[in-house]
Chain A
Amino acid sequence: MRRAAAGLLLALGVGRWGVARAQTDRLAGRLPEPTHAAALALIDSARAAGLPADPLVNKALEGASKGADGPRILAAMRLLAHDLGVARDALGASSSESELVAGGAALRAGVAPDFLARLRHEHPDEPVVVPLAVMADLVTSGVPADTAARDVLTLARAGLREAQLVEFRRDVERDIALGAPAGASAAVRVSAAARGVAAAPATPTGGTPPRRKP
């Protein structure tokens, strides 16, 4: 029995080491050496703190691909690690990597951590990637951060599905592109979307999602 438990632990350890190695291997040859070593140390620290490594690796690769210098890449990685940590504290330790990435983007856009915690509290058993992403996207479109967060919470509470939230975001962006004030557009669209959900019959879910554009 002890041998089996030891073997299982060893296998798990080897598996985790293999995943970590694969993540950091992606940086090999993409960063100059001083930056590479510092990036690996930063990733190890984040991993030790229970944060996902892949987003940090992706940030480093983005910087390398865009020709950024080492200090700038490391600064961006540190900022992202901080955002991921705050997002993890607000959303809970069991949150997925995608949720932390989307939560980090919402925080970076200016959404207060309390809104993330409320979203998780109201939807404890569902992925909240899309609501968090819509919050961030609305803010970058010009909607004030508190307004965007409050609107998304309202719509999620009203029962909007992910696709409807994305449609709401597109409607607001279209209004803004046509010259409407961002806050006013969001307010009008929130009322319309909430009324639509209340009036619409229940629709079946599932099936193969269609091909889509960003």
Chain B
Amino acid sequence: MPDREDRWIADVAAELRRPVALSAGFDARVMAALRAAPRRTPLRGLWDWLREPRVVSFSPLGGLAAGAAVAAVALAGVWMAPRPAGPVAAAAPAHPATAAPVDVAFVLLAPQARSVAVAGDFNGWDPARTRLVRGAAGLWTVDVPLAPGRYTYAFVVDGRRFVPDPAAPRAVGEDFGTPSSVVTVEGGAL
């Protein structure tokens, strides 16, 4: 009985080992079909992998840890994000405008002048530091950023003659014989 089974198994094995007779164009057809198939790029493979449903399992402790990590990343993003430079109502000081400089335009009509400068409390009374620029019809102008406050100043024409600003209030008193003017830069209060 065992001999018969052994012989049967040997016959099956011999049959399986026997070369399969293929038609003459079989190899060519297989290769043609392979060449015609869409090529699988690495990106396509990744996309297919991402789309394929999967079951992920983790412990409750691992889930809590993952949630905490996500929250930490989000908080770090909020903390590190650039903030707007302008004043924020909640964080603004009581008088936000008191420190902000304002461009003050100094203007003098002096068609005959060869040079005009402005000297005052804001530039150490040094005419060389703030020169006006000549415009049309002898109108000299310059913008000076000034913080809120009160400043005394005068124009200096041709490097030697001090001239008060005809468009501004006069400074009180003439301590040095030539009048000066005053400019008051508002701070947005009252």
Contacts and interface: CB of A to CB of B under 8 A. Distances in A.
The dominant DSSP class at the A interface is helix
B109 interface: no
A35 B52 CA distance: 90
Contacts of B178: 66
Interface stretch (B34-42, B64-72, B73-81, B144-152): B144-152
Interface in A90-141: 97-98, 101-102, 105, 108-109, 123, 125-131, 133-134, 136-137, 139-141
Interface in B114-146: 119, 121, 124-127, 143
B184 A166 contact: yes
A148 B96 CA distance: 29
A209 B97 contact: yes
Given A173-B169, A212-B104, A212-B105, A62 B186 contact: no
Given A105-B150, A214-B106, A140 B172 contact: yes
Given A205-B188, A209-B102, A212-B104, A127 B172 contact: no
Of the four ranges (under 10, 10 to 19, 20 to 34, 35 or more), the interface on chain A belongs to 35 or more
Interface stretch (A2-10, A11-19, A42-50, A154-162): A154-162
A74 B44 CA distance: 87
Contacts of A173: 169
B180 A129 contact: no
A68 B165 contact: no
A3 B185 CA distance: 44
Nearest to B149: A98
Contact of B190 (A73, A97, A162, A169): A162
Interface in A171-202: 173
A211 B98 contact: no
Contacts of B95: 126-127
Nearest to A107: B172
A101 B150 contact: yes
B90 to A, nearest CB: 14
Contact of B126 (A59, A65, A208): A65
B111 to A, nearest CB: 19
B175 interface: yes
B175 A58 contact: no
Contact of A214 (B124, B149, B181): B181
A214 B167 contact: yes
B190 A123 contact: yes
Max chain B Cβ within 10 angstroms of own Cβ: one of A58, A59, A108, A130:
A130
A76 B173 CA distance: 10
Contacts of B60: none
Interface string B43-59: 00000000000000000
Contacts of B188: 161-162, 205-206, 209
The 5 A-B residue pairs with the shortest CB-CB distance, nearest first, are A214-B183, A214-B168, A76-B175, A98-B149, A65-B125
Interface of B: 87, 94-98, 100, 102-107, 119, 121, 124-127, 143, 148-150, 152, 162, 165, 167-173, 175-178, 180-190
